[in-house]
Amino acid sequence: MATQRDTAPQIPKRDTDFSEWYTAVALRAELADYTPVRGFMAIRPYGYALWEGIQTWLDRKFKETGHVNAYFPLLVPESYLQKEAEHVEGFAPQVAWVTHGGDEKLSERLAIRPTSEAIILPMYAKWIQSYRDLPILLLQWNSVVRWEKATRLFLRTAEFLWHEGHTAHRTSEEADAECRLILNIYRELLEDVLAIPVLTGIKPPSERFAGADTTYTLEALMPDGQAIQAGTSHFLGQNFAKAFGVKFLDSDNVEKYIWSTSWAVTTRLIGTLILAHGDDKGLVLPPRIAPHQVVIVPILGKDDGAVLAASRELAKTLGAHVRVKLDDRDTYTPGWKFNEWELRGVPVRLEIGPRDLAARQVTLVRRIDARGSGRVAKQTVPIDQVTAVVEKILADLQAELLARGTAFRDSHTTTAETVDAMVKALQDTPGFVKVRWCESPECEQTIRTKTGASPRVIPLEERASGSCAVCGRPAKVWVYYARAY
Ligand SMILES: [Zn+2]
């Protein structure tokens, strides 16, 4: 038998250095790693499994709502990128350029797509002639490159994976409804699958996607009190349609421009998952997204054969209902494996040793206890009841994580009447601060300068009455501010 590894890698305490803790978890849970290309990460299989979970769930939702997958070129001719003025201005500083093919200098530079409106809309101009060709509801799963100066694994990388939806519609109302439909799909993904509560609404003009009329957004609050943008859905109006000449002949025989949308979530969600749920032991995964919902660790001793056989049998029985990993490696001690799978966030661990076997039971350990404290919560479960008990605990864990995040978010959301009150709130209870706003850019700038926070989201349902927190004029909307990733 090979020498057993007994010492598990340690990670820094979360509340001592949140940033260092984050990176250590991403690396040591084997989600991602640095590469020889600065700012570009490798996503390791365990991290990719999380992305596949997100993809699989979304793919089903998108197809159920009439969307189809397609694919468009990696490269965008410079002249195309320049056609929509705001768009090119917004993305120009971050574009990577292809200038040569082999040794030959290209007559026109090609942008590595930072997003694909400028290559997809020209295709729509070819494909759309009449109102009968509408709507077009498609998306592509791909990667894009945005040349970032400061990068962090998953949260900000020069290349990231995403899907980008691009839809074309006959009317403004239809395009707007599409944006809201997608926003709701994203909200369901965040809250029901990833167990991360979100605020939804629209961005103020200063934070809109370059070229959009309206950007719908989902904003989550992380345990360090900073907000993170979890997804966006853009109503592009007719801006890109006009820039690329995408017209159709309507039933009234009048030629009109289409209305378009684009929307995305990215591999940033994996960073969000780490931040939202992790603790001093490492990653904590909500059961619905966990690649392994249960890990079985046999405690080998005198009666190895029987324990292994029982573990395999259990993995098979339970595996018909939930995602199970049997860790029967003999090169690591059980103690090492416990730490390892806790670090990697597996929701439930089952231990089977000779004594458990004799008593026809297993020892079950939840990754977090009911109060979410990270303390070990052990119980024994009769072998013939394991499936039912595990399914119940997985459902409980899923609900508890969302409830924990919601309680944190709510206790870290303050309503402020003045800018001074905002400054105080952000010091005392870092998180969201909700204020009334007159919609003037000057008032926004005052808040940014004095608080260091940015406007995250304008809620759609809540109407503001009263006066702007900065200038005292009548307020038009509520805005949630926060410091942000
Ligand atoms: Zn104002």
**How far, in Å, CA of 410 to CA of 405, rounded?**
9
Q: How far is CA 449 from CA 419, 423, 453, 455, in A?
A: 10, 11, 8, 12
Q: Give residue 139 CA to ligand 1 midpoint distance, Å.
A: 39
The HSE-up count of residue 87 (CA atoms within 13 Å, CB side) is 26
Q: How far is the CA of 437 from the centre of ligand 1 (A)?
A: 6
Tell me the sheet residues that pair with 481: 433, 455
| Ligand 1 mean position, distance from CA 434 (Å) | 14
Distance between Cα 239 and ligand 1 center (Å): 29
How many A from CA of 457 to the centre of ligand 1? 17
Q: If you measure from the C-alpha of residue 473 to the centroid of ligand 1, how many angstroms do you get, rounded to a whole number?
A: 6
Q: How far is the CA of 391 from the centre of ligand 1 (A)?
A: 52
Place of tokens 């894009």: 144
Cα 23 from Cα 153, distance rounded (Å):
7
Lookup: tokens for 86: 């705001």
pLDDT of residue 41: 97
Residue 2: per-residue pLDDT: 44
Compute the distance from residue 74 Cα to the ligand 1 centre, in Å. 43
Question: Which candidate, 78, 145, 75, places its Cα nearest to that of 107?
Answer: 78
Secondary structure class of 262 (helix, strand, coil): strand
CA 439 – ligand 1 centroid, Å: 6
Distance 422 CA to ligand 1 centre (A): 14
- Taking the centre of ligand 1 as the mean of its atom positions, its distance from the CA of residue 481, in whole angstroms, is 15
Distance from residue 183's CA to the centre of ligand 1 (Å):
28
DSSP state, 193?
I
How far does residue 412's CA lie from ligand 1's centre (Å)? 24
Q: If you measure from the C-alpha of residue 421 to the centroid of ligand 1, how many angstroms do you get, rounded to a whole number?
A: 15
What is the whole-number distance in angstroms between the Cα of residue 213 and the centre of ligand 1? Answer: 22
Report whether 337 contacts 346 (CB < 8 A): no
pLDDT of residue 463: 83
Q: Helix, strand, or coil here: 198? A: coil
Can you list the alpha helix ranges (DSSP code H) found in 71-196? 78-81, 85-91, 117-127, 172-188
Q: Which residues of the chain have pLDDT under 70?
A: 1-9, 302-303, 370-376
Specify which residues 144 forms β-bridges with: 160
Residue 241, amino acid: A
Nearest to 435 by CA among 456, 452, 461, 411: 456
Q: Which residues on neighbouring strands pair with residue 100, listed in sequence order?
A: 105
The β-bridge relationship of strands 227-235 and 96-101 is unpaired
So what's the pLDDT on residue 6?
58
pLDDT at residue number 371 = 58
Q: How many other C-beta atoms can be found within 10 angstroms of the C-beta atom of residue 428?
A: 9
Give me ligand 1 centre to Cα 476, in Å.
Answer: 9
Question: How far is ligand 1, taken at its centre, from the CA of residue 442, in Å?
Answer: 7
Contacts of 419 (CB under 8 A, 6+ apart): 446, 447, 450, 451, 469, 470
Count CB-CB contacts under 10 A for residue 127. Answer: 11
CA of 478 to the centre of ligand 1 (A): 12
